[in-house]
Amino acid sequence: MSRINTIRQIMFNSLTRKGLLAAIFVATVLLTAGYGLGKLWLEVPAVFLVGILWGVCVLRDIRWVASLLFVVMLGAAAVGYMARLSHLLMLAVGCTLVLAWDLHQFEGRLLDLEEQATIEMEKNHLLRSLMVLGASFLVIAADSWLQIRIQFVALVFVTVLVILVLNQIILLARRAGKPAPPKE
């Protein structure tokens, strides 16, 4: 059974797997380059090792680390941003990390899928992920020539807006509570 799964993985998950490894590689290289350019030499190997660790976990089919490593690397990007490293690189890291995290999660679900559905679904999923990536890169491109300034009033306004949105999301989540399965 495990052999069949392995074959399925090679046959059907190759696109997702390749995309996942590529995303991790790009994110690691960009993050390392950002820290390198900022001459934070102590952090460079640590960041690089985290990327390598994620890659190894992907190859060993360890899925639970995806969210943890995603947060670690995103945190590294945020810290880099605050340390006045290259903003463009850090934003690019953010985009590729989202892609890597999503592909890692999707690969886990892919094993559970029917073979006929897999190829089609894999294509659709990758297409949608690329849409996210494209939209994010557009924002990065815009960031390169747009200067956003936030005044105190705007800050308060944005904070209130965020609180309201989060409140609405929580209400929505409560309403869409799972229906309990009927007793046998």
Partner 1 sequence: MTNRFWFLGLVIYILVFVGLGTLQGGLLLLAIPLLAYLGLALYFSPGSLDLTVTRTISTDNIPENRPVTIKVTVVNHGNALEEVLLEDLVPDRLTLIDGKTRRRLAVPAGGMVEIEYTVSGPRGKYRFVGIRATATDLFGIFQRQKFFPAPASVMVFPNMTQLRQIHIRPRQTRGFAGPILARRGGSGVDFYGVREYQIGDSPRRINWRISSRHEQEFYSNEFEQEAIADVGLILDSRKQTNLIRDDATLFEYSVLAAASIADAVLQEGHRVSLLVYGFGMERVYPGYGKIQKKRIMRSLAQAEPGDNYALESLVYLPTRLFSARSQIILISPLSNDDLHPLLRLRAQGYEVMVVSPDPLDYGGRLRAQRLREQTTRGDQSAQSDKSDDFNSLVLRLAQIERALLFGNLRRAGIQIVDWKVDQPLSKALHAVIIQPSHGRMVLEMSQ
Closest to partner 1 by CB, 42 or 148: 148
**Three-class SS of 37-71:** HCCCCCHHHHHHHHHHHHHHHHHCCCCCHHHHHHH
* Placement of tokens 């995303």 in the chain: 23
Residue 158 within binding range of partner 1, rule CB under 8 A = yes
Closest to partner 1 by CB, 42 or 150: 150
**Three-class SS of 118-134:** HHHHHHHHHHHHHHHHH
Closest approach of partner 1 to the CB of residue 183, in Å? 8
Sole window of 18-26, 38-46, 57-65, 123-131 interacting with partner 1 (rule: CB under 8 A): 123-131
Closest approach of partner 1 to the CB of residue 114, in Å? 4
Contacts of 88 (CB under 8 A, 6+ apart): 140, 143, 144
Residue 120 within binding range of partner 1, rule CB under 8 A = yes
Sole window of 9-17, 24-32, 45-53, 174-182 interacting with partner 1 (rule: CB under 8 A): 174-182
Residue 25 within binding range of partner 1, rule CB under 8 A = no
Residue 178: other Cβ atoms inside 10 A: 5
Q: What DSSP element (H or E) covers 112?
A: none
**Options 155, 160, 164, 171; binder of partner 1; rule CB under 8 A:** 155
Contact (CB, 8 A) for 110 and 118: yes
**Three-class SS of 135-160:** HHHHHHHHHHHCCCCCCHHHHHHHHH
| Torsion over CA: 107, 5, 12, 60 (sign) | positive
Residue 139 within binding range of partner 1, rule CB under 8 A = yes
Closest to partner 1 by CB, 45 or 138: 138
Rule CB under 8 A: which residues touch partner 1? 67, 71, 74, 77-78, 81-82, 87, 90-91, 94-95, 98, 102, 105-106, 109, 112-114, 116-117, 120-121, 124-125, 128, 131-133, 135-136, 139-140, 143, 148, 150, 155, 158-159, 162, 166, 169, 173, 176, 178-179, 181-182, 184
